[in-house]
Structures are given as structure tokens and as C-alpha cells.
Amino acid sequence: MSSIDLSTVRTFLLGLQERITHAIAEVDGQPFMTDHWQKEPGETLQGNGITKILEQGRVFERAGCGFSHVRGPRLPPSATQHRPELAGAAFEAMGVSLVFHPRNPYVPTVHMNVRMLAATPVGENCEPVCWFGGGMDLTPFYGFDEDAVHFHQVCKDSLKPFGDDKYPRFKQWCDEYFYLKHRQEQRGIGGVFFDDFQELGLAQSFAMMQSVGDSFLQAYLPIVERRKDSLFGERERDFQLYRRGRYVEFNLVWDRGTHFGLQSGGRTESILMSMPPLASWSYQRPNEAGSPEERLYKEFLVRRDWV
């Protein structure tokens, strides 16, 4: 693949969205609602997308999985500050992004995203430039070593064919990205995260993104199956709602995609599919010494090597 065929990437992403939502709907027993959207003529961004969402299911309280494919006349300054040669370049971006909020507090919340950006530099005979990005990360309410090890092992395995350096680099990148600076807390137990990736050449970089996307169900579903019927009470529910507040804080304050999307006229309801169905806040909520809630903060919401 000397230049990338964008329709191949699009086909992969649409298939990935289908496979994931189909498998999640099977587990839940409730289908996703599908919403096709298209940018209005005259808007700065042009393009279309498919939003799939399952709300108030048996296993998932809110699960959103979106595909989008947009084109713009010029890259925003925030995207070109490290690449001056691309200032003002026309671009095309597509991706699949998901956040699943389970009902049972013993099942972790999960996020996965894979994306591609192609830009055509201004000038004569300029070839388009292409990068890939993506990753997945897990946010438990109650920590289990075996879940964290499993999730990270699948992430690591998915990257193995692309070089032994990839997992450690992308694991660290994930820890650095999903960090709530104002709380001095990790968002969860991490996973992998990469961006602006093209160092293996187009074909292999695309293959790596595919491998990460394709491994998502294997990373997450066994954990869902293992935990979804755990007994829980008001205490665990309260803690889940409180911790979901942190998810809101991260996404609205720190997540570049969310923040930039909302401020630059992205499709609000698709961007905010990541919000939890219900979240709570309370002042300086204490954790009982030795409790599983305290253990989450001390042993799981810290940077750790899991595999």
C-alpha cells in the first residue's frame, strides 16, 4: 500500500462498529438504536456518521459507539502546531469511538477509539500525509487484579506483531493521557494510547490500528461476563455514581477531542455519548480504611505494570 485507500479504512471502521455493537447487544439482550447523520451544506465541516446507542439495557445503562467521517478545508491551528508544513492543509478524518457504562458496579467502564487523519499540504505536487491513532482504557469501580492483567495482556498481544517497543510506549502514553491533574488521580487502570502514528509506513500503521480495534471485544467481554451478575447494594451503586463524576470531569475538562469538538461545532449529542447515564458529586467523600473503595484508589488508580 503505497498510498492509502480511504474507502478501505472506512469499510474497516464500519465493520468494526457493526461487530462490536452486535456483540454488546447480544450480551445485553437489547439492540442499539442507530442514527445516521450528515453535516448540513454550508457548515465548515462536511461529512457523515452513524451513531449507535443502547440506553437503559439490562447489562449496560448507557453504551454509545459512533462512527464519523468528516472533511474540512483547513486543519485547526491546534492540530498543526508541531507540523508547520501542514498549516492550512485540507484534511479528512474518520474513526470509531465508544464508551460503555455498565449497570453493575463490578463491571468496569470502558473506552476505545481508532482513528485516521489524512491531510494534503498546500503547495505543488504535494502527497497527502496520513496518521493513525487509537487505544483503549479500562475504568473499574472495584479493582480486580485478574481483570487488569487480562485487559493489558490483550492490549499487549494486539501490538506484539508490530514490535516489542509498542506496548510499553503506548501503555505509558495512556497513563499520561488519562490522568486527572486536578485530582492527582489516574482515570482508571489504563491500557494503550497512541496518536500521530505513521512510523511503520501506511500499510503496517493501518494494520496496527486494525489489530487494536479488533482486539477490543476480547479485552473487554470476558470481564463483563465474569462480573455482570455480581451481587451489589446501595453502597456499591453510590460509589459507582460518585466515580462516574470523575469520568465526566476528565472528559469535559481534559479530553482534547471532547473539549475541542464541543468548542468547534462538532455534533454535540454524538460527542457526549461518552457521558454516563447518571453521576453524582459530594464534598470530600471519605473512604473507610481497608475498604475496597480505598483499595481502588491506592492499588488501581496509580501507574502500575500489569503485564
Q: Which residues are annotated as a binding site for a divalent metal cation?
A: 101, 111, 152, 182
Binding mask 197-226 for a copy of itself (x = CB under 8 A): ------------------------------
For 141, what's the count of Cα atoms within 13 Å in the CB-facing half-sphere? 26
Q: Which of residues 109-148 bind a copy of itself (CB under 8 A)?
A: none
Smallest distance from the beta carbon of 187 to a copy of itself, in angstroms? 15
Among 245, 287, 295, 297, binds a copy of itself (CB under 8 A): 245
- Determine the Cα–Cα distance for residues 259 and 275; give it in Å rounded to an integer: 13
Look up 111 and say whether it is catalytic: yes
Binding-site residue set for substrate? 97, 113-115, 265-267
Q: Closest CB to a copy of itself among 6 and 180?
A: 180
Kindly provide the b/e burial profile for residues 92-130, where b requires at least 16 CB atoms within 10 angstroms of the residue's own CB: bbbbbbbbbbbbbbbbbbbbbbbbbbbbebeeeeeeebb
Smallest distance from the beta carbon of 135 to a copy of itself, in angstroms? 23
Q: 144 with 134: CB under 8 angstroms?
A: no
Torsion, CA 304, CA 135, CA 145, CA 292, rounded to 10: 90
Grid cell locating 160: 506484539
Residue 265, number of CB atoms within 10 A of its CB: 11
Catalytic entry in 69, 111, 150, 259: 111
Grid cell locating 198: 505513521
Binding mask 153-192 for a copy of itself (x = CB under 8 A): ----------------------------xxx---------
Smallest distance from the beta carbon of 20 to a copy of itself, in angstroms? 18
Smallest distance from the beta carbon of 165 to a copy of itself, in angstroms? 32
Closest by alpha carbon to 96, among 10, 32, 25, 191? 10
2 binds a copy of itself (CB under 8 A): no
- Determine the Cα–Cα distance for residues 4 and 1; give it in Å rounded to an integer: 6
Q: 117 with 71: CB under 8 angstroms?
A: no
Kindly provide the b/e burial profile for residues 70-82, where b requires at least 16 CB atoms within 10 angstroms of the residue's own CB: bebebbeeebbee
Among 276, 293, 296, 301, binds a copy of itself (CB under 8 A): 276
Read off the amino acid at residue 251.
Answer: N
Closest by alpha carbon to 241, among 289, 204, 275? 275
Smallest distance from the beta carbon of 250 to a copy of itself, in angstroms? 10
Q: How many residues sit in the footprint of a copy of itself (CB under 8 A)?
A: 36
Q: Which of residues 43-102 bind a copy of itself (CB under 8 A)?
A: 51, 53, 55, 62, 64
Of the ranges 82-90, 102-110, 220-228, 260-268, which one interacts with a copy of itself (CB under 8 A)?
Answer: 260-268
State the catalytic residues: 111
Residues binding a copy of itself (CB under 8 A): 33, 35, 51, 53, 55, 62, 64, 181-183, 241, 245, 248-249, 252-253, 259, 262-263, 265-266, 268-269, 271-273, 275-284
